[in-house]
């Protein structure tokens, strides 16, 4: 029976435990082998495997880290396009993985003979994208199954950020993705361990900030043309900020994840705290966001912004806005930045 992501959302308490989620070499479970096909729904598309995929291609940071977290590093035939360094627990695994900076062309991808392509960004399969490898349907016709992280589901195959449903931009959908991929890849127990750890860490932050004031936080990227992009309400950072005890100052903008704004709009919104959004190199750390901080703080037009006056414009990574296994790390980090009094900073 096909299980939709929405139908499989779970509620209730999860037992906290410390789980090491890096590594590779997890063996497939027998339930997904031979004639026992497994089907899960992703973005309205049924994905069926007769046995756990053995040649997985992971595109973009969220999917690469998900693959390592679920222990299928040894099944990766390629990885592409990291926005920053991977989390410390995945660095050894990523060092063992074939990696290219740019997304492969369709021909380059198919030359790796993947049986499953996991993408951390919907543009990989978008008709309008310059670096598209083709629609999901076109890959399925070749026997290559695909998956897009659910909070980025477009309104139809072949589209990108158009009409993302805000209701899907939830932690629960990340957990559902992990469980679904765990079932398809034959590593359900591993997936459940990862979900348990992530949800417990996020719940711990929530308990700590429950009674704290909720500052208005903006995630801003300065552009070379003098404009800026702000992370809107359907960007996953909105969930992270809320879990960390804040409010996205641009949450009401939900047409796209990244909304172009002018200086006047940023001044009018006057966020309490500003985070940058450094991207996109596999070597980047938070320190590489400092030039963006300097550009914002050094702009005379922003001298009276609350965040600038209070010295709370912080370097931040685009990778930490992602709907993947970084969500606990990102929630903890944002909570420390916006509530330093509660986290000993």
CB of 317 within 8 A of CB of 82? no
Question: What is the model's pLDDT at position 345?
Answer: 62
For residue 2, the tally of other CB atoms under 10 A from its CB is 10
Cα dihedral sign for 282, 236, 169, 265?
Answer: negative
Segment holding 293, helix H or strand E: helix 290-297
How far is the C-alpha of 125 from the C-alpha of 262, rounded, in Å?
30
pLDDT confidence of residue 212: 97
Residues with Cβ within 8 Å of 125's Cβ and at least 6 positions away in sequence, in order, are 119, 132, 133, 134, 135, 136, 139, 146, 148, 157, 158
Q: What is the mean pLDDT of each run of 10 residues along the chain (345 residues)?
A: 38 35 41 72 96 97 98 98 97 97 95 97 85 92 96 87 80 97 98 98 98 98 92 96 98 90 96 97 97 97 98 98 97 97 83
pLDDT at 151: 92
pTM score, whole prediction: 0.88
Nearest CA among 150, 90, 102, 84 for reference residue 283: 84
- Residue 162 has what pLDDT? 67
pLDDT for res 85: 98
Q: What is the pLDDT of residue 168?
A: 87
Give per-residue pLDDT as tens, 130-154.
Answer: 778 999 999 999 999 999 999 989 8
> From CA 115, how far away is CA 120, in angstroms rounded?
17
CA-closest candidate to residue 338, choices 285, 288, 271: 271
> Which is it for the CA torsion 287, 289, 290, 291, positive or negative?
positive
């Amino acid at each position: 029976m096909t299980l939709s992501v929405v139908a499989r959302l779970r509620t209730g308490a999860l037992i906290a435990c410390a789980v090491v989620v890096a590594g590779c070499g997890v063996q497939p479970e027998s339930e997904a082998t031979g004639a026992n096909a497994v089907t899960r729904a992703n973005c309205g598309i049924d994905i069926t495997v007769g046995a756990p995929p053995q040649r997985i291609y992971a595109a973009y940071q969220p999917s690469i880290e998900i693959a390592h977290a679920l222990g299928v590093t040894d099944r990766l035939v390629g990885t592409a396009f990291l926005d920053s360094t991977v989390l410390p627990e995945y660095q050894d695994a990523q060092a063992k993985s074939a990696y290219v900076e740019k997304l492969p062309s369709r021909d380059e991808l198919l030359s790796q003979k993947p049986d499953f392509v996991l993408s951390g960004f919907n543009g990989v399969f978008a008709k309008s994208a310059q670096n598209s490898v083709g629609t999901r349907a076109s890959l399925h016709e070749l026997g290559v199954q695909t998956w897009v992280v659910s909070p980025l589901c477009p309104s139809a195959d072949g589209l990108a950020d158009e009409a993302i449903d805000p209701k899907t931009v939830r932690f629960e959908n990340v957990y559902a993705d992990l469980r679904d991929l765990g079932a398809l890849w034959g590593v359900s127990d591993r997936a459940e361990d990862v979900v348990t750890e992530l949800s417990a860490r996020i719940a711990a932050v929530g308990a700590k900030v429950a009674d704290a004031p909720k500052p208005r936080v903006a995630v801003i990227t300065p552009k070379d043309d003098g404009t800026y992009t702000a992370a809107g309400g359907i960007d996953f950072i909105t969930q992270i900020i809320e879990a960390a005890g804040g409010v996205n100052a641009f949450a009401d903008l939900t047409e796209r994840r990244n909304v172009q704004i002018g200086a006047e709009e940023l001044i009018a919104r006057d966020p309490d705290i500003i985070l940058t959004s450094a991207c996109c190199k596999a070597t980047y750390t938070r320190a590489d966001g400092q030039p963006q901080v300097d550009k914002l703080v050094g702009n005379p037009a922003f001298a009276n912004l609350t965040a600038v006056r209070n010295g709370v414009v912080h370097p931040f990574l685009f990778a930490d806005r992602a709907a993947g296994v970084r969500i606990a790390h990102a929630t903890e980090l944002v909570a420390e930045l916006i509530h330093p009094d509660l986290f000993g900073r």
